[in-house]
Structure 1
Amino acid sequence: MPCLPAIRAVCQNLNCLSSSGQMHDAPEVAWLLALRHERQGKPALTKGKNPVASLYRMYEYLVVGYTAGLRSEMEYFFKQSTWSVKAIPDPEDTDPARYAILAVLTHYLAKVFNRLIERGLPRGCPAIIAGAEAEAELRAREVVLELQPSWAKAVRRLDEPITIPNSSGDTPEDRFRSAEFLAMNIIVTEPHVAFV
């Protein structure tokens, strides 16, 4: 394709191409925070039907404070039974804040998925479980818990803190802050991600 090099050059200037050559169209944290109220309740700007695109949509929803969008996207990911959390490719994002948020989100994916799996709802189970036979089949399945991808554990903590305001637009109180995000120098309210 003769125009692909030109597209890559434009994308590098707009910071939507990772060093691995993987394209993404997720906006920067500062831009999302500046347009937070306008973006709440709206679909994420990131498009695509793959694990990395889904993770970027979660990032957008978290930063703008759109909890319903975040939970819906996590539920969408859960229903893609071939998408293992551990196998999410490294986005190699060049924006340190965005990369740190993506890394922590994989922790929450594993946490919320394992909560369901441990309760007997494995990934790929039908939406409606009718009858004793269907329940017995689910109980007989091997329990396979999700894990964070190795790249997520290697992402560096941010040098400078960033704050994602709570729903009132204020800095979250200490008691409501996410310990996982705080470990990456990101101040944000513990996300409400359980969707069942």
Structure 2
Amino acid sequence: MSTKSSLFWSKVRQALRRNHNDQVEVEEEQEEDVYIPQPDDYPTFPPLPPRDLFQDPTHHFNKIAARKFGGPQGEYEDKPLYALYRFYEFVVLDNVTNYRNCLEAFWRQKGWPVDGIPDPEDPDPERYAFLAGCTFLMARAFNARVKLGLDRNMPSLLIPEEAEALRNRPHHLRNYEKVPEWAEKVAPLEELLVVPTHEGEVLTGKEDKRADPDFLDKGILLWTPHIFFT
């Protein structure tokens, strides 16, 4: 083999080694970039009871905000019960923006009637009562929209004539929501659960006009949430 030929193949081998090394580095970088889910990326199911959540609201909200998934690990499809528990957490923490977002997201799930939410059969009495109260909030929020002529089954875009027809539809033909039977049957708490606002304010008592009536029926003193959205 001539000197020129040897030099040429030496350069080729060097170039191949460089390409191989570059490819190894790229593959190593890609492996480093591969996302591996961590336990904290998923919600704990069921979540903490109300008292535990509002004892340190900032800490718990930061943990919730850091999640990457809406359901527990191993679940790949969202369900009404997971959505209810997410809503529950934000109502307990009095995080208005997020519980309103939860309501709107639930509204858009056309196959999720409020009265179709399964019974969580939650073993914690206070959390169970709070979950029941949350279904009353959902029904009230959605029915306020139905009263305006809106419908969960309507398309996202309407021509003016369609919108007018919905507004003029008789009320007995509208799809008003109902709370689940299990929520109506949940017994009120024996000891009143007093839930503070995100600023730590508490209501004066059951006679306070700002108290939510449906939660009071479940033995929970809670400032009526801002549940109405457009």
From 52, 57, 65, the counterpart of 1:43: 65
Asked whether the equivalents of residues 93 and 198 of structure 2 are also in contact (C-alpha less than 8 Å), the reply is no
Give 1:135's aligned residue. 163
More helix by share: 2
Task: Specify every segment of 5 or more residues in structure 1 that has no aligned partner in the other structure, as ranges.
Answer: 1-15, 17-23
Deviation beyond 6 Å, 4+ runs, structure 1: none
1:166 alignment partner in structure 2: 197
Q: Distance in 2 between matches of 1:25 and 1:152?
A: 17
> Structure 2: which amino acid aligns with 1:158?
L
List alignment gaps of at least 5 residues for structure 2: 1-43, 72-77
TM-score normalised according to structure 2 size: 0.68
Q: CA deviation at 1:40?
A: 4.1
**Structure 1 residue corresponding to 2:97, chosen from 68, 77, 83:** 68
Q: CA RMSD in A?
A: 2.2
Give secondary structure in 2 for the equivalent of 1:129: coil
The aligned counterpart of 1:176 is 210
Paired with 1:75 and 1:127, the residues of 2 have a C-alpha distance of 13
Task: Report if the CA contact (8 A) 1:178-1:187 is conserved.
Answer: yes
Pairwise CA distance, 1:125: 2.1
Does structure 1 retain, via aligned residues, the 8 Å contact 2:114–2:139? yes
Structure ID, larger Rg: 2
Distance 1:136 1:63 in 2: 38
Q: Is the 8 A contact 2:88 2:134 kept in 1?
A: yes
Asked whether the equivalents of residues 104 and 180 of structure 1 are also in contact (C-alpha less than 8 Å), the reply is yes
In the comparison of the two structures, how many residue pairs are matched? 173
Aligned positions of 1:12-161 closer than 5 A:
24-40=45-61, 42-43=64-65, 47-48=70-71, 49-132=78-161, 134-135=162-163, 138=166, 142-161=173-192
What TM-score do the two structures reach when normalised by structure 1?
A: 0.79
Query: CA separation in 1, counterparts of 2:187 and 2:211?
Result: 20
Deviation string 1:16-62 (CA, Å, 9 cap, x unpaired) is: 7xxxxxxx331121221122123447539683311111110111001
Tell me, yes or no, if the aligned pair for 2:93 and 2:197 is still in contact at 8 Å.
no
Structure 2: distance between partners of 1:39 and 1:66: 12
